[in-house]
Amino acid sequence: MYNLIRPLLFALDAEAAHRATLYGLDVAHRSNFLHIVAKPPVELPTTAFGVRFPNPVGLAAGLDKNADHLDALGALGFGFVEVGTTTPRPQLGNDKPRMFRLPRHQAVINRLGFNNDGVDALVRNVQKSSYRGVLGINIGKNKDTPNEKAVDDYLFCLERVYALASYITVNISSPNTQGLRDLQEEATLRRFIETLREAQERLGSQTGARRPMLLKIAPDLSDTELDAIAEVLLAAKVDGVICTNTTIDHSSVADDPHGHEIGGVSGKPLFARSTAVLRGMRQRVGNQLDIIGVGGILDGNNAAEKIDAGASLVQIYSGMVYRGPTLIAECVDAIRHQREDTHAG
């Protein structure tokens, strides 16, 4: 079904296609037609950072920034959905066009810049949604908040989303908010994470239900930077890490008409690098925390490779653009076969 719709969507500008798809999904969901495009959820129970997931394949952050489409996306068969990135105040993001498809490379370049309606709107949307599956909420900072005050933005969002989320992702790895990735620097990260960890535990006691908190990191990190981040994560006892966000390295798409567009590259060209960071992180943290593997999953084998590299769960975004919802069940099946082989072998 998606193969039929895809040429129509690809005739549109990438952001227009994105909006049309989500609108279509909402209509299909409300009219009970969604089963035509989607397969029923596939069960493959998985537990990570204390949360039980019906299957280990989730939707990555950024596709539904405001949780506007949670019911429809939640009906596609994902084991979990991550919404956001959300910021304290609404913001428009960068000027359009700011999202580009590179079909030859099965890639996307985006420089959206955290366009979103603000955390209060996201909270309202989650509250009125009927989705009862595992929900990640991804938080960030406003563009005009200086890095010295960034932690206040994250605390603001953390407090508002805490009780609604199954887990919270702290996003310090988008390349499209100037200076954001500097928060990954060791001394800054240490102070920043300690403050958020204290708030996480305080909110856990206040609400009576502790929520796991994950850090989402960039793929463009050196071995020394990875060493430092792993050390901070372990020292602060962070629940998990998401490897990775989009890359600023455009070398693999330089020959594409859109290859020069400023922004983060996702999709197939990101697979090797994001998987190497995931593997490197697993080697550094041992079994002390769980990792979500994301970046360039375009087929079931890619998903199984992420698990092999040390992920407990995987997420997809660009793969949804190129493959549509059938990719979800394909990834679950590949991970199931991998588990069966591991147990048999």
Ligand X SMILES: Cc1cc2nc3c(=O)[nH]c(=O)nc-3n(C[C@H](O)[C@H](O)[C@H](O)COP(=O)(O)O)c2cc1C
Q: Is the Cβ of residue 177 or residue 200 nearer to ligand X in the bound state?
A: 177
Among 161, 297, 304, 332, binds ligand X (CB under 6 A): 297
The answer to whether residue 318 is catalytic is no
| Minimum gap (Å) between residue 48 Cβ and ligand X | 17
Q: How far is CA 331 from CA 42, 79, 89, 91, 307, in A?
A: 10, 11, 36, 34, 11
The size of the chain, in residues, is 345
Examine residue 295 and tell whether it contacts ligand X (CB under 6 A): yes
Q: Are the beta carbons of 169 and 216 closer than 8 angstroms?
A: yes
Examine residue 294 and tell whether it contacts ligand X (CB under 6 A): yes
Stretch that binds ligand X, among 34-42, 48-56, 59-67, 177-185 (CB under 6 A): 59-67
Residue 296, Ramachandran bin (φ over 0: left; ψ between -120 and 50: alpha; else beta): left
Provide the residue type at 269 as one letter: P
CA atoms of 202 and 155, how far apart (whole Å): 12
Collapsing DSSP to helix, strand or coil, 21 comes out as helix
Q: How far is CA 237 from CA 15, 119, 155, 231, in A?
A: 38, 26, 18, 10
CA atoms of 180 and 263, how far apart (whole Å): 14
Residues 90-129 that bind ligand X (CB under 6 A): 99, 108, 110, 112
Q: Are the beta carbons of 79 and 46 closer than 8 angstroms?
A: yes
CA atoms of 86 and 250, how far apart (whole Å): 26
Contact pattern for ligand X over residues 9 through 48, marking x by CB under 6 A: ----------------------------------------
Residues 60-79 that bind ligand X (CB under 6 A): 60-62, 65
Please pick, among 129, 174, 252, 318, the residue that the annotation labels catalytic: 174
Q: Is the Cβ of residue 105 or residue 282 nearer to ligand X in the bound state?
A: 105
Backbone CA torsion sign across 107, 264, 281, 162: negative
| Minimum gap (Å) between residue 59 Cβ and ligand X | 9
Contact pattern for ligand X over residues 172 through 201, marking x by CB under 6 A: --x---------------------------
Q: Which two tokens stand for residue 253?
A: 């798409």
Examine residue 296 and tell whether it contacts ligand X (CB under 6 A): yes
**Would you tell me the crossing angle of helices 300-308 and 326-344 to the nearest 10 degrees?**
50
Examine residue 57 and tell whether it contacts ligand X (CB under 6 A): no
Among 29, 216, 258, 282, binds ligand X (CB under 6 A): 216
CA atoms of 172 and 182, how far apart (whole Å): 8
| Minimum gap (Å) between residue 205 Cβ and ligand X | 28
Among 126, 270, 278, 328, binds ligand X (CB under 6 A): 270
Size of the site for ligand X (CB under 6 A): 26
Residues marked active site are found at 174
Please give the residue ranges that form the binding site for ligand X (CB under 6 A). 60-62, 65, 85, 99, 108, 110, 112, 138, 171, 174, 216, 245-246, 266-267, 270, 294-297, 316-319
